[in-house]
Amino acid sequence: MALQGAWRFEEGSGTTSADMSGSGLVATQVPGWTGSGHTGGGLALDGTTAGAAVAISSGFDFWGSSTLMCWVRFTSFGAGDRAIIYGPRYSGQTYFRVYVTASGELR
């Protein structure tokens, strides 16, 4: 399976991030930019409103074998669980979710 989506979130301003995979899957986000990402800038997530979403096209094949990867740096942990990666949803069901608990445990 070929790379289907890749976002660096290094734009530094605005509400979209380009897909570097060539698939054209633009990420739209509630901006919260930081200059201290893994390899440059990054998307700052505040645990409540900031985040990013990708409208999946019909050609996106997620149901076979897939690998998800992200670099995350926590500066604090809020109350309750905070999703890092999740989706897609169908009839209210979440098919996968990677999250951090209030105590800082990654699940």
pLDDT at 35: 81
Amino acid at 18: A
Amino acid at 54: V
What is the distance between the alpha carbons of residues 97 and 10, in angstroms, rounded to a whole number?
24
pTM: 0.70
Distances in whole angstroms, Cα of residue 26 to Cα of each of 4, 6, 93, 104: 12, 9, 24, 30
Q: 43-66: per-residue pLDDT in tens?
A: 887 767 777 887 766 666 666 667
Task: Taking residues 13-25, report their average pLDDT.
Answer: 87
Residue 41 clears pLDDT 70, i.e. is over it: yes
What is the distance between the alpha carbons of residues 98 and 14, in angstroms, rounded to a whole number?
26
